[in-house]
């Protein structure tokens, strides 16, 4: 009976851990590739102050958008972002798009 008990405990721990991961409050990605024409995005819940730190090997488009596509903040086509964005209540997404012809290699740090 003990192996079953350990399995139940392990499954409960995994459920709690995965539930905590759904409420995203920190992203750290180093050396992530964004091929030409592709987009990467990370969701966050507001209200919150979101620290946005992004660097890229080539210019990329960086925006903070709502779940319905409304743009809260457009950083334009840049190689670097280092700013704090005040997220209103709702679900928001930091979106990085590569409009160029070569693969972008990005480092991303996002935290609330």
Domains of the chain and CATH, by start: 26-111 (2.60.120.380)
110 strand-pairing partners: 27, 52
Which residue has tokens 């670097």? 80
Q: Which residue has the higher pLDDT, 22 or 89?
A: 89
Contact 110, 48 (CB under 8 A): no
Residue 56 and residue 106 in contact, taking contact as beta carbons nearer than 8 Å: yes
- DSSP readout, 50-76? EEEEEEEEEEEEEEEEETT--EEEEEE
6 vs 48, higher pLDDT: 48
Structure tokens of 43? 């969701």
Q: What is the mean pLDDT of the chain?
A: 87
The pLDDT, as a whole number, for residue 4 is: 61
| pLDDT for 1 beyond 90 | no
Better-predicted residue by pLDDT, 14 or 6? 6
pLDDT at site 84: 97
- The predicted model gives 24-35 an average pLDDT of 91
Predicted local confidence at residue 25, as pLDDT:
86
Looking at residue 80, what is its pLDDT? 98
């Amino acid at each position: 009976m003990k192996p079953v008990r350990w399995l139940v405990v392990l499954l409960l721990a995994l459920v709690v851990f995965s539930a905590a991961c759904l409420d995203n409050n920190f992203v750290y990605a180093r050396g992530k590739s964004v091929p030409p024409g592709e987009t990467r995005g990370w969701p966050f819940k507001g209200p919150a102050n979101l620290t946005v730190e992004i660097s890229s090997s080539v210019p990329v488009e960086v925006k903070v958008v709502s779940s319905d596509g409304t743009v809260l903040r457009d950083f334009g086509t840049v190689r670097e972002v280092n700013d704090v964005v005040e997220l209103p209540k709702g679900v928001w997404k930091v979106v990085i798009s590569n409009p160029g012809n070569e693969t972008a290699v990005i480092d991303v740090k996002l935290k609330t």
